[in-house]
């Protein structure tokens, strides 16, 4: 690369990621094939529209690329229709709302502090400006309270029920939620659609290790870069042809211009990798590593959420007497990257939080073992339990784990496209 400044920054970031332990639940490491596709000649092609219906010439090849991505996404999630053009998960949610709702319609979503996303009704998001949001809280045990959800559906009579979360460590009972919603719709004056944002658990769903919301929801949105281990981008799925047509219009021309065909090519590669049997084994290891770290922290006396998926929440305020911001900074100092996070019943502000969110999708991609996961828990505990931990010693322990793992820039995963 001729741009020496950017080249140096790329090298610094590569070193940071290789020498550190990445535990942010929304991050993962794509394969070199995914990165090659994203940095390919498709970057130079404009292709407004959809395969076979473009506003530009010269789209014969990108039509094949996007069609392949669509077909692989449909196969992966057992969906009849897929739109692979959203630039992000937020863009996918924007289009999904527009496809199903009118401005001012009511949406029932999870209380944001209990694990929702900004686009699920936050005051700083477009979502709360375009639609009326009401919220359902988690139960006292931190799980979805289906009885309370049923009550609030009848009380609020929303146009859309939203499930799928960014910091919920348990299995989501999509089938039961659908049954409750069906019963509500039989007597409600307004039909309520069911939308699922599966951004965080898409890889778990793709591997068949939890319920598939595509079987139950009217529309499902996702990112492609978290547990799916692809490029940064969005995805929309549905089994309803009429909704699919509205989704396509909501993406282009309503909210986006030319699709990022280089990213779509990378999505196709990632979907091909996720369709390979090896991906299911990867996801099994992610779940095992996440649980091992959670359980080791619990054994050490920390207050953790427990987990059914790729993440769990650590209550650092109750466990160590510090806030999430403080814990994030202290762990960052020893080479462990996490993010502060609100927890159920949090008494602190979003800027501080009482907890941190810990995920093992990225570290497992680098080959982390169960013992690595347990050692990570022990390092976290040592770093947070005293005001003045031995930083240098903890750095050494972190570096030892990182050095035993695979290089982040040369990861290769099996694919059905081979």
Give per-residue pLDDT as tens, 58-94: 999 999 999 999 999 999 999 999 999 999 999 999 9
Q: Is 197 a catalytic residue?
A: yes
Check residue 128 and give its pLDDT.
Answer: 86
Q: Does 226 qualify as catalytic in the annotation? A: yes
Q: Kindly state the average pLDDT of the residues 235-242.
A: 98
Q: 107: closest CA among 162, 183, 174, 184?
A: 162
Ranges for all domains in the chain classified under CATH 3.90.1150.10: 278-403
Q: What are phi and psi of 348, to 5 degrees?
A: -100, 170
Indicate if 48 belongs to the active site.
Answer: yes
Mean pLDDT of 186-208: 96
Bridge partners, residue 121, by sequence: none
**pLDDT (mean) for 121-146:** 92
Q: Which of 72, 114, 165, 223 is the catalytic position?
A: 223
C-alpha 383/C-alpha 259 separation (Å) is 45
Residue 417: per-residue pLDDT:
84
> What average pLDDT does the segment 13-38 reach?
98
Q: Where in the chain is the domain with CATH 3.40.640.10?
A: 33-274
Q: How many whole angstroms separate alpha carbon 39 and alpha carbon 95? A: 26
Q: What is the architecture, at CATH level 2, of domain 278-403?
A: Alpha-Beta Complex (3.90)
CA distance 358 to 329: 14
- Residue 44 banded pLDDT, cuts 50, 70, 90: very high
User: Given pLDDT bands bounded at 50, 70 and 90, which one contains residue 393?
Assistant: very high
How far is 203 from 210, CA to CA, in rounded Å?
10
Task: For residue range 32-42, list pLDDT tens digits in order.
Answer: 999 999 999 99
Mean pLDDT of the chain: 96
Residue 393 CB neighbours (<10 A): 12
pLDDT category of residue 121 using cuts at 50, 70 and 90? confident
Q: How far is CA 70 from the centre of its chain?
A: 20
The catalytic position among 226, 267, 291, 397 is: 226
Q: Which of 232, 325, 330, 397 is catalytic?
A: 232
Beta strands in 245-360 (DSSP E): 303-304, 311-315, 336-337, 339-341, 355-359
Is the pLDDT at 122 greater than 90? The verdict is: no
Identify the active-site residue in 19, 48, 105, 130: 48
pLDDT confidence band for 301 (50 / 70 / 90)? very high
Model confidence at 52, pLDDT cuts 50, 70, 90, reads: very high
Query: What's the rounded Cα separation, in Å, for the pair 272 and 274?
Result: 5
Number of Cβ within a 10 Å radius of residue 105: 16
CATH class for the region spanning 33-274: alpha beta
Q: Is 136 a catalytic residue?
A: no
Q: Is-contact 82 236, C-beta < 8 A?
A: yes
Q: Give me the numbers of helices (H) and strands (E) for the chain, helices first please.
A: 16, 15
pLDDT tens readout for residues 359-386: 999 999 999 999 999 999 999 999 999 9
Query: pTM for the complete prediction?
Result: 0.96
Q: Catalytic: 295?
A: no
Catalytic residue among 197, 308, 326, 346: 197
* 103 SS3 class: coil
Of all residues in the chain, what percent carry a pLDDT higher than 70? 100
Give yes or no for residue 114 having a pLDDT over 90. no
For the segment 312-367, what is each residue's pLDDT rounded down to a tens digit? 999 999 999 999 999 999 999 999 999 999 999 999 999 999 999 999 999 999 99
**The residue to which tokens 């939620």 are assigned:** 177
Mean pLDDT for 147-164 is 96
């Amino acid at each position: 690369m001729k741009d020496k400044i950017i080249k140096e920054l790329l090298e610094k970031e590569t070193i940071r990621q290789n020498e550190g332990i990445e535990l942010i639940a929304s991050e993962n490491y794509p394969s070199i094939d995914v990165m090659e596709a994203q940095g390919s000649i498709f970057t130079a092609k404009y292709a407004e529209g959809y395969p076979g219906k473009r506003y530009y010439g010269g789209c014969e090849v990108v039509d094949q690329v996007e069609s392949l991505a669509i077909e692989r996404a449909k196969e992966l999630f057992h969906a009849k229709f897929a739109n692979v053009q959203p630039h992000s998960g937020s863009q996918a949610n924007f289009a999904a709302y527009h496809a199903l709702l009118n401005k001012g319609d009511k949406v029932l979503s999870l209380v944001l502090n209990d694990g929702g996303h900004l686009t699920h009704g936050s005051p700083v998001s477009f979502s709360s400006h375009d639609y009326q949001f009401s919220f359902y809280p988690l139960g006292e045990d931190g799980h979805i309270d289906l009885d309370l959800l049923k009550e609030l559906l009848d009380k609020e009579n929303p146009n859309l029920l939203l499930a799928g979360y960014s910091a919920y460590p348990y299995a989501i009972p999509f089938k039961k939620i659908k049954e409750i919603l069906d019963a509500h719709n039989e007597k409600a004056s307004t039909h309520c659609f069911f939308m699922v944002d599966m951004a965080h658990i898409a890889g778990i769903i793709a591997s068949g290790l939890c319920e598939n919301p595509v079987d139950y929801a009217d529309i499902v949105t996702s990112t492609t870069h978290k547990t799916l281990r692809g490029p940064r981008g969005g995805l929309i799925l549905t089994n309803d042809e009429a909704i699919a047509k509205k989704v396509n219009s909501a993406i282009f021309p309503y909210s986006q211009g030319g699709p990022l065909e280089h990213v779509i090519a990378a999505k196709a590669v990632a979907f091909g990798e996720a369709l390979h049997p090896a991906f299911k084994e990867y996801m099994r290891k992610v779940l095992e590593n996440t649980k091992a770290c959670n359980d080791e922290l619990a054994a050490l006396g920390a207050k953790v959420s427990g987990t059914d998926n790729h993440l769990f929440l650590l209550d650092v305020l109750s466990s160590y007497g510090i806030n999430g911001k403080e814990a994030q900074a202290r762990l960052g100092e020893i080479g462990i990257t996490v993010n502060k996070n609100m927890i159920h019943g949090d008494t602190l502000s979003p800027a501080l939080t009482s907890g941190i969110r810990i995920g093992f999708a990225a570290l497992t991609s680098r080959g982390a073992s169960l013992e690595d996961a347990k050692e990570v828990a022990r390092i976290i505990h040592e770093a947070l339990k005293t005001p003045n931990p031995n930083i240098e010693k903890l750095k050494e322990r972190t570096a030892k784990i990182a050095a035993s793992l695979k290089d982040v820039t040369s990861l290769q995963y099996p694919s059905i496209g081979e």
